[in-house]
Amino acid sequence: MRAFLGSMTGRVFGTLLLGILITAALTQLLADAERQRVIDEYRELHWLDRAEQLIMATEIVPQSARTAYLEVANRPGVELTEIIGGAPPPALAPSQTEFTHALAARLGPAYQLRSVATRPSACDTALDQPVVFGLLRMKWHGTCESVAVRLRDRSELLLSVLPPRYATSPERTDYTWTIALFLASIGALAYVVAGMTTRPLKQLAQAAKDLGNDINHPPLDLTGADEIRQASAAFNAMQARIRQYIFQRTQMLAAITHDLQTPLTRMRLRLEKVSEPELQERLIGDLSAMQAMVKEGLDLARSMDTSETMQMLDLDSLLDSVCADAVDARQRVDLVGHAGMALLGRPLDLRRCLVNLIDNAVKYGHAAKVTVDRINGAARIRVRDAGPGIPATELGRVFDPFYRVETSRSRESGGTGLGLTIARNIAEQHGGSIRLVNHPEGGLEATLMLPEYYPGK
């Protein structure tokens, strides 16, 4: 889950889902508020009409029958009662309310209306109970008051405007399944949109990864939106330029190597005629170093070329073959363990990588112990020598081309400083890595990690 939320798809999905939910909630709240406002206005007008009709009808009824009439005529929301003679008049408010003013305007100056300071007890009860309307949950703030009414015959009445019968909503409909379906549809839509948005980015990222492993990987298809097609076309053009650059460089180095072989061979033949044995030995040594440097330079260029066909191979068999060849060459090499796995790779390149690691260990440490096992779905090949190791500050720099540690480790043994560079290039082309550490018990240990199936499982 954390990996999904940390990915581009998860972030786009979360942003879309959250944005849609917030927008839907705000829209629903605004709609509920508008509906509540319209209902309140309608209720105010209805109460005004009802109060006007009730007062005017009561005036027509004879006083002896008014009490009985009001018991029948009163309805929830608006009630009219008589003030019996001798009862204390209600305390009046200092000013008229908006409802009282509107009702007085409707009835005309023949009727006297005054707002009462004391509100009906039902108003306080309604204020204590929240009103639930859609997503809104608020206190009741509608018209709720008492009005003293004096008819044209001087009769005193008390008009009570009360909260509606349901100040709070009655038993509400269960919207659980509706909301669940709504959220599920929004989530599905957001996931589809997130996938459509990030799929081209994933394809470009995979293409970049494949390019690093195989420069001859097929180009991207020019499909999708205009921006995606432009990016794919630019990526394909970049791949073609890099491939052409590597090809030209490899061809140039191959030509230089080929052209150098002839004069180097003539020089070796002529050195055979040198009469002084000591001088002859030195010159032949320098010439051999030059030939080795030219050969390793060409190997470095080839290690960055991926023209060899990828094929399935047994890693244990490859290791057995490499170590057996080293033993036949009278090198002290021991092989321990087995990986028990196959991988997709280039056999000649992998053999060159393993040979360079073993030769490096034998050259500088006089022996190589190769240990192979399997960890986290990858093969781990550790090559440890019996030498003095190298300073910790030099562990990363030894992978640089032509770099040699400034100690007797390299000065006595010679070398061009390209072996580890070539090995690392090959490992990275197979989705792996190489790491050097000084072993606690002494010696330098190179760890080669190779995935089980490359490039895809």
Q: What is the DSSP string of 393-430?
A: GGTTGGGSTT---SSHHHHTT---S-HHHHHHHHHHHT
**For the purposes of burial, counting CB atoms within 10 Å of the CB of 85, is it exposed (0-12), middle (13-18) or buried (19 or more)?**
exposed
**97 part of a folded domain:** yes
Instruction: Give per-residue pLDDT as tens, 281-322.
Output: 888 777 777 777 777 766 666 666 556 677 888 889 999 999
By the 8 A CB rule, do 172 and 90 touch?
A: no
**Identity (one letter) of the amino acid at 14?**
G
Q: Are residues 20 and 141 in the same domain?
A: yes
Q: What's the confidence (pLDDT) of residue 371?
A: 92
Q: Are residues 336 and 225 in the same domain?
A: no
Instruction: Give per-residue pLDDT as tens, 117-151.
Output: 888 888 877 666 666 555 556 666 778 889 999 88
Average pLDDT, stretch 173-179? 69
CATH number for the domain spanning 440: value is 3.30.565.10
Q: Could you tell me what percent of the chain has a pLDDT over 70?
A: 83
By the 8 A CB rule, do 444 and 365 touch?
A: yes
Q: Are residues 227 and 265 in the same domain?
A: yes
Q: Are residues 261 and 112 in the same domain?
A: no
**174 part of a folded domain:** no
Q: Does pLDDT of 80 surpass 70? A: yes
Q: Are residues 135 and 229 in the same domain?
A: no
Task: Please name the residues in contact with 446: beta carbons below 8 A apart, sequence gap of 6 or more.
Answer: 357, 360, 361, 382, 383, 384, 420, 434, 435, 436
CATH number for the domain spanning 245: value is 1.10.287.130
Instruction: Give per-residue pLDDT as tens, 25-41.
Output: 888 888 878 887 888 88
Among 429, 404, 400, smallest CA distance to 414 is for 404
Q: Are residues 152 and 249 in the same domain?
A: no
Q: What's the confidence (pLDDT) of residue 130?
A: 61
Q: What's the confidence (pLDDT) of residue 381?
A: 93
Among 99, 116, 121, 119, smallest CA distance to 52 is for 99
Q: What's the confidence (pLDDT) of residue 135?
A: 58
Q: Which residue, of 282, 307, 332, is where some domain finishes? A: 307
Q: Are residues 352 and 447 in the same domain?
A: yes
**202 part of a folded domain:** no
Q: Does pLDDT of 409 surpass 50? A: no
What kind and span of H or E run contains 374? strand 368-375
Q: What's the confidence (pLDDT) of residue 386?
A: 86
Q: Are residues 328 and 431 in the same domain?
A: yes
Q: Report which listed range, 142-146, 272-276, 410-414, is most confident.
A: 142-146
Range of the domain at 38: 2-161
Whose structure tokens read 């021991």? 334
CA-to-CA dists, residue 107 to 49, 115, 146, 149, 177, angstroms: 11, 15, 17, 11, 51
Q: What's the confidence (pLDDT) of residue 102?
A: 92
